[in-house]
Chains A and B, each alone.
Chain A
Amino acid sequence: AQSVAQPEDQVNVAEGNPLTVKCTYSVSGNPYLFWYVQYPNRGLQFLLKYITGDNLVKGSYGFEAEFNKSQTSFHLKKPSALVSDSALYFCAVRENDGGATNKLIFGTGTLLAVQP
C-alpha cells in the first residue's frame, strides 16, 4: 500500500533563509506526488506535482520540489523564505489503482514557521 511520511512536525526558519520541508514515500510502481499548503482558516491549495519527466518541479509562490527516486523522497524547497510562507504543508501520493478511486494519500503535515 502507498504511504507518505513527513518526518518533521514543525520546521522553523528565519526569513530570507532557504527552507526545506521533507517528504518520503512508499509506493509500488511510478509515484504521482503532490504538495499542498493550508493557510490558517483556509482550504488546501495546490502547490505543485510530479508526474513524470524533470526531477525538479516548479510550483506556485516560488516553491519547488525535487523528486529523488533512489531516496524515495520529494522534498519541498524555497530559496528564500517569507513570513507569509508560514502555514501547514502536506505531501500526498496518488493511490496506485489505475485511476479507480483518484484517492490521495496524505502525510501528517509539517508546520512551517518563518520568523522575521
Chain B
Amino acid sequence: EAQVTQNPRYLITVTGKKLTVTCSQNMNHEYMSWYRQDPGLGLRQIYYSMNVEVTDKGDVPEGYKVSRKEKRNFPLILESPSPNQTSLYFCASSKRTSGRWGSQETQYFGPGTRLLVL
C-alpha cells in the first residue's frame, strides 16, 4: 500500500530536549516536505527536499533541521524544542516534476504527529 508514515504519532516533551520525528514514504517520490498546522493559520511549510541530499527552508524553518540521506526518509529534528513548537506536524511527498506554473503532482500526507512541548 502506497503511504507516508510518521513516528511518533504523539509526543510530549520538555523544553530543550532534542527530538526527532521520522517520516518515510514507499512511493519512490523525489519530493518530501514538512508542514506544521496551527489553528487559524492552516498548514505552513517548514522545510522541503527535492531529492537526496537536497534540502531547503520553507516559510517557518526557525528551530528545525532536516536531512535527506535516503530517498524514502526525511526526518524532522528539533535540536532544542520550545513551547512555541507545540503543533501538529505533517510530512508529505510527491513526484518531482516542473512546469511553467509549478508542479501538477499531488502531494500525499502522513497521518500527522502531535507534539506538545512543556
Please determine whether chains A and B interact with each other in the same assembly.
yes
Chain A interface (Cβ < 8 Å from any Cβ of B): 29-32, 34, 36, 42-46, 49, 51, 90, 92, 94-104, 106-109
Q: Contacts A44-B109, A103-B45, A109-B42 hold; do A30 and B50 have CB atoms under 8 A apart? A: no
In the complex, what distance in Å separates the CA atom of A99 from the CA atom of B106? 12
Residues 97-118 of B contacting A (Cβ, < 8 Å) = 97-112
Q: Contacts A90-B43, A103-B33, A107-B42 hold; do A97 and B109 have CB atoms under 8 A apart? A: no
Bitwise interface map of B from 14 to 48 toward A, beta carbon under 8 Å scored 1, else 0: 00000000000000000101010000111111001
B40 contact set on A, CB distance < 8 A: 108
Q: How many A-B residue pairs have CB under 8 A?
A: 85
The one of B33, B41, B100 in contact with A98, judged by C-beta atoms closer than 8 angstroms, is B100
A102 touches B109 (CB 8 A): no
In the complex, what distance in Å separates the CA atom of A106 from the CA atom of B31? 18
Q: Contacts A44-B109, A101-B48 hold; do A106 and B43 have CB atoms under 8 A apart? A: yes
Measured CB to CB, the nearest residue on chain B to A31 is B101
A29 touches B103 (CB 8 A): no
The answer, yes or no, to whether B62 is at the interface (CB within 8 Å) is no
CB distance from A29 to the nearest CB of B (A): 5
B103 touches A102 (CB 8 A): yes
